[in-house]
Amino acid sequence: MALSLDPELEVLLQPLMAASAELEPPAIGDIATRRERIRPLFQLLADLQAPVSGVDVARHTLTTADGAELDLAWYFPDAGLSGSAVLYLHGGGMIHGLAETAPGYDALVRAYVAASGVPMLVVDYRVAPEHPDPTPVEDCYAALRWLADNATELAVNPARIAVAGDSAGGGLAAGVSLLARDRGGPALAAQLLIYPMLDDRTTTPDPELPAEVLTWNYDDNITGWGALLGDGEPSVYAAPARAEDLSGLPPTYLDVGDLDIFRDENIAYAARLSAAGVPTELHVHPGCPHAWEALAPTAAVSKRVVADRIRRLRAI
């Protein structure tokens, strides 16, 4: 039996799939067209999120080792702090920054903070191809260091800091976890990897995945990895699936849909984490494409996966 969309998702995603089918797919390497098209999509994702209250935002600036100034947004509940904190890294295929995706991620992070009570730091890390590897992961690691260094002022217990992210942000979260381990800190209490982009070798189409449901397809993946890596040899921090040693990493939560091109690399990474002695929770959701819960937040399977993420956030 071939894989197919969850029936409820099929109904909810039909307008989006129909609109997408009318567009000429951008060529591999065409980043300008992808950036132009992603803006209205992330505004739509913001509009789909239910409004939340009780979350404030403080703005900060981080100066990196190479002199760049990165914007930081500290989202926190106005009803009091939990003592834990999360560095949340946004997605975007390594080529989309907050310049294109900010409305969607502002709504998403507010929702996570309101539901979990856990504050989150969001960094506007630099993206490829203007800023290839290692800049994106180094920017994210610098944000982790900033969070740890300012823990006292932020009322955060430094032993209760986690890193999380979705898609490219999930891959960067995995890379930051490896960097934190290999550089001796900051210590991480957990990593939450949401359908993470981990492996630059995912380039051959899977015949079991219907092309029309791929919200992030193989041409997109080749484009994103190509922009990040160019002709260079990928480091394990840019492509964590290439890391041979996964021991010593923090307890991990990972979820992915079975209609996501990242499915196999995510399952393999979770299995290797477990084999390396890392406590690992893996969820593979049948009938779900990449970013399904953001595109169809009212679906039962979307509510289930968000509830699992909130449960793990509250446990940090």
In the chain, domain spans: 7-314
- The pLDDT value recorded for residue 1 is 54
User: Which pair of structure tokens corresponds to residue 114?
Assistant: 């309101």
Q: Among the options 84, 167, 177, 302, which is catalytic?
A: 167
Q: Please tell me the distance from the alpha carbon of residue 93 to that of residue 218, in angstroms, as a whole number.
A: 11
- The pLDDT value recorded for residue 69 is 98
**How many helices and strands in the chain, by DSSP H and E?**
9, 8
- The pLDDT value recorded for residue 79 is 87
Other C-beta atoms lying within 10 Å of the C-beta of residue 27: 10
Q: Please tell me the distance from the alpha carbon of residue 270 to that of residue 272, in angstroms, as a whole number.
A: 5
User: Which pair of structure tokens corresponds to residue 31?
Assistant: 């980043």
- Taking alpha carbons only, the member of 222, 237, 276, 214 closest to residue 140 is 237
Is domain 7-314 annotated with CATH 1.10.3230.20? no
- The pLDDT value recorded for residue 233 is 86
- Angle at the Cα of 267 (from 265 to 269), degrees rounded to 5? 65
Q: Please tell me the distance from the alpha carbon of residue 46 to that of residue 304, in angstroms, as a whole number.
A: 20
- Angle at the Cα of 44 (from 43 to 47), degrees rounded to 5? 90
53 is catalytic: no
Q: Please tell me the distance from the alpha carbon of residue 215 to that of residue 260, in angstroms, as a whole number.
A: 8
Reading the chain (316 residues) residue by residue, the pLDDT tens digits are: 578 999 999 999 999 999 998 999 999 999 999 999 999 999 999 999 989 999 999 999 999 999 999 999 999 999 888 899 999 999 999 999 999 999 999 999 999 999 999 999 999 999 999 999 999 999 999 999 999 999 999 999 999 999 999 999 999 999 999 999 999 999 999 999 999 999 999 999 999 898 888 999 999 999 999 999 998 889 999 999 999 999 999 999 999 999 999 999 999 999 999 999 999 999 999 999 999 999 999 999 999 999 999 999 999 9
Q: Are 287 and 258 in contact (CB under 8 A)?
A: yes
